[in-house]
Structure 1
Amino acid sequence: MKEVSKTAIIAKKKLTSNFFKKGISLALFSGLTYGMYTAFLTMGMTKGVWGDWYGANTAGLSAFVLAYLVAALANAINDSISAVWAILYSVIKGKFGDFIRCINTKPGRVMILAALIGGPVAGTAYVIALQMAGSIVVPISALCPAIAAILGKILFKQRLDKRMAFGILICVFASFLIGSTSFANGAASTKTFIGFGIAIIAALAWGFEGCVAGYGTAMIDYEIGIAIRQVTSGIANLFIVVPVLGIMTGKAGISFNLAAQAFTSGPAMGWFILSGLLSVITFMTWYAGNSMCGAGLGTACNGTYSFFGPLFCLLLLGVYGGKDGWALPSVAWIGAVIMMFGILTISMNPLDLFRRKNDMGGLTDEAA
């Protein structure tokens, strides 16, 4: 009986270990797909009518329209397509009815609030920053886990110990290291400075979203939560943010005209369809990973997009697309790796990964 019990414990330990490892794999995959989403979205903004808007003659559009309205429109199209993918997925999984029922519940309303913060605010800021300063802003926006830790302490009295504070300092150092490459030899423009500032706004909003969404996803199925998030973000971006920015230009109809041109631009829409799909995949795998290996470690693994974002932008736009300006200096790559280590330190003690492995090995040896 004792041997049977020991065998059962070993089997349970192995199952737990496999579950944990699968969670890490999913969370890491979410960081990979977020990097791909960044590159595909940016590529879409170089094709079709977007190429005319951002071309040499700017198609007669003002600097405000190009910097803010067009970038917001790109985010709105991506999130709208992402919402369609999320709804289709819920229908295929037989969860569309649950999606409808959950919208007007307390967790559903929390997810709507998180979506309004993460979609119209963070998502739009992220796209604007990319257009103004390039892929170097991706690691800056990845400061969101550090910001989430600080906001969690301030707003919800969550734990913020010395290790987490050290991880935050690592992230801040990495962001300065990355930023310094743009300002070397006085080469940085005012546009680059503004792009960096807007990337920090994205990080702040995503950090706040992480605090708020943690409650919602603890109460409802993460697949339903993601559908609520993407649908809310798509609607808010397309029918609130873009029209409001259009009104701010003094031309109320410009947002409708630009949206009609964008949605009918075939060469660009193919890339947006892919970026929208990747948006759904990255959130689903991130939330699934969090539920299997813990939110802290899952967020750290997702934060690897600080490396994968610039990498895929370089490969897709620089190498494949032959476009200049997407290569990063070696210091920026080093900073991105340091940033990932800082995020990991905030989420957990990195030595625990080795201890967990040793614990599993010790149990296996004991069983033998």
Structure 2
Amino acid sequence: MALNTAKNVQVMQTAQELGHAKKGLIYGVISGATWGLDGVILGMALAMAPFTGGATLSVYAGSLAGAAMHDGFAGFWLFFYNLFTGRASEYFRTLRTRPGKVVVLAALFGGPIAMSGYLLGINMAGASYALAITAMYPAVGAILAVFVLKEKIIPRVWAGIILCVGGAVVVGYVPPAGDFPDFYLGLAFSLLATLGWGMEGVLSTYGMDMADPDIAIGIREATSFFVYLIGILPIAAGVVVFWDAFKEVSVYYVAVAGALGALSYVCWYRALNMTGVGRAMALNVTYALWAVFFSWLLIPGFELTVTLVVGAVIITLGTILVTANPKELLKLRKV
């Protein structure tokens, strides 16, 4: 009798764990889809006034102003989400701790460095190309973890990294049709974003383990926004563009993109908690493919080139190899 009871308890626990993991998989898919849509909508916003301009300075200023607005809106939505869930007071408590300070440092890499490169990449190379390149960030994070966290890279991960690099070469081999005179410079900025997000991930590994993820994400976005507003936009002559954007239709696009970015981050960290790092990251990095789909769906005249699709698929497969054991991924069908 006692044995049957123990088995029943074990079956119930297993069912609960599987249900928890299924929810995590759903969150992982949503995180990838929303980030892909975020990038496409940002690309549409950057093609509108006041972010457009003929001079090179205007291009930089417009992209940086757009990045500041995106992180500002994301931080705004996250603050109200945390306020609604009764955790807004945790912001100041977390900032006084060492993990909170590490989150701030991670925000500098993920915000002003990575987000700037990301927006400049979208502006100069197009959303689909920038998103495909930045999908390599887990591979970059794995390499950086060797030096920062003293982790070892196994052959499977090396194979994934090589695939990511190969996919990036395929993506950038043929520029898209249209007016992209600084296409390759845009790819270089996208690589800068990949480096910044890779470093952010390494630093966040420490900070997020000891801080509420939703609060940490809110701090990350707020830190990025204020650094942009106070330290970067005045230097890049982007302050005027930033304030002018609130008078244009493009501000609604950026506000929606910021909400999508906030939702993507929330779902991303819930997926990490519910279904594990490997599975969650394997689903999150599919944003490169989602970006291709949403670009085709939303952008008139978007050219779906063979090199873009093939390169995005190669990068996604390579990143899955970096972040998850294929044997573990086969268990997804059983979950």
Q: Are 1:90 and 2:82 an aligned pair?
A: yes
1:346 corresponds in structure 2 to 322
Counterparts of 1:1-368 in structure 2 under 5 Å?
1-50=2-51, 53-54=52-53, 58=54, 62-66=55-59, 68-134=60-126, 135-182=128-175, 191-246=182-237, 255-265=238-248, 267-318=249-300, 324=301, 326-355=302-331
TM-score computed with the length of structure 1 as normaliser? 0.86
Residue 30 of structure 2 aligns to which amino acid in structure 1? Answer: F
**8 Å CA contact retained: 2:176, 2:303:** no
1:271: how far off?
0.9
**8 Å CA contact retained: 1:145, 1:300:** no
Determine helix, strand or coil for the equivalent of 1:182. Answer: coil
1:40: how far off?
1.5
Runs of at least 5 residues in structure 2 that lack an aligned partner in the other structure: none
The C-alpha deviation readout for 1:286-305, integer Å capped at 9, x for no partner, is 01111112223222211011
Counterpart CA distance in 2 for 1:243 and 1:183 is 33
The C-alpha deviation readout for 1:57-83, integer Å capped at 9, x for no partner, is x4xxx32222x1110001101111111
Counterpart CA distance in 2 for 1:156 and 1:114 is 15
Counterpart CA distance in 1 for 2:314 and 2:69 is 33
**8 Å CA contact retained: 1:38, 1:313:** no
**Bigger Cα Rg:** 1
**8 Å CA contact retained: 1:263, 1:269:** yes
Residue 129 of structure 1 aligns to which amino acid in structure 2? Answer: G
TM-score computed with the length of structure 2 as normaliser? 0.94
Residue 341 of structure 1 aligns to which amino acid in structure 2? Answer: L
**8 Å CA contact retained: 1:167, 1:346:** yes
Counterpart CA distance in 1 for 2:146 and 2:239 is 42
Residue 305 of structure 1 aligns to which amino acid in structure 2? Answer: Y
Of 331-340 and 283-292, more deviation after overlay is shown by 331-340
Residue 90 of structure 1 aligns to which amino acid in structure 2? Answer: N
Counterpart CA distance in 2 for 1:166 and 1:241 is 38
Counterpart CA distance in 2 for 1:175 and 1:328 is 16
The C-alpha deviation readout for 1:73-114, integer Å capped at 9, x for no partner, is 011011111111111111111101112211121111111111
- The 1:159–1:297 alpha-carbon spacing in structure 2 relative to 1, beyond 3 Å, is farther
Determine helix, strand or coil for the equivalent of 1:49. Answer: coil
Residue 327 of structure 2 aligns to which amino acid in structure 1? Answer: L
1:190: how far off?
5.9
Determine helix, strand or coil for the equivalent of 2:236. Answer: helix
1:352: how far off?
2.1
**8 Å CA contact retained: 1:45, 1:74:** yes
1:183: how far off?
8.7
1:356: how far off?
6.6
- The 1:74–1:4 alpha-carbon spacing in structure 2 relative to 1, beyond 3 Å, is same
The C-alpha deviation readout for 1:267-323, integer Å capped at 9, x for no partner, is 1111111011111101111011111122232222110111112321232222xxxxx
Counterpart CA distance in 2 for 1:46 and 1:190 is 15
Superposition misfits of 4+ residues, deviation over 4 angstroms:
187-190, 355-358
- The 1:346–1:44 alpha-carbon spacing in structure 2 relative to 1, beyond 3 Å, is same
1:45: how far off?
2.2
Counterpart CA distance in 2 for 1:138 and 1:73 is 19
Determine helix, strand or coil for the equivalent of 1:340. Answer: helix
Counterpart CA distance in 2 for 1:166 and 1:314 is 30
Counterpart CA distance in 2 for 1:286 and 1:311 is 20
Tell me the number of residue pairs that the alignment of Structure 1 and Structure 2 aligns: 333
Note the aligned Cα RMSD (angstroms): 2.0
Determine helix, strand or coil for the equivalent of 1:36. Answer: helix
Residue 284 of structure 1 aligns to which amino acid in structure 2? Answer: V
Residue 303 of structure 2 aligns to which amino acid in structure 1? Answer: A
Runs of at least 5 residues in structure 1 that lack an aligned partner in the other structure: 247-254, 319-323, 361-368
Counterpart CA distance in 2 for 1:136 and 1:357 is 31
- The 1:49–1:190 alpha-carbon spacing in structure 2 relative to 1, beyond 3 Å, is closer
Percentage of pairs with the same residue: 28
1:189: how far off?
7.0
Residue 155 of structure 1 aligns to which amino acid in structure 2? Answer: V
Of 104-113 and 292-301, more deviation after overlay is shown by 292-301
**8 Å CA contact retained: 2:124, 2:181:** no
- The 1:183–1:96 alpha-carbon spacing in structure 2 relative to 1, beyond 3 Å, is closer
Determine helix, strand or coil for the equivalent of 1:136. Answer: helix
Residue 15 of structure 2 aligns to which amino acid in structure 1? Answer: K
Counterpart CA distance in 2 for 1:273 and 1:111 is 24
Counterpart CA distance in 2 for 1:156 and 1:313 is 37
1:363 corresponds in structure 2 to none
1:137: how far off?
2.2
Determine helix, strand or coil for the equivalent of 2:234. Answer: helix
1:132: how far off?
0.6
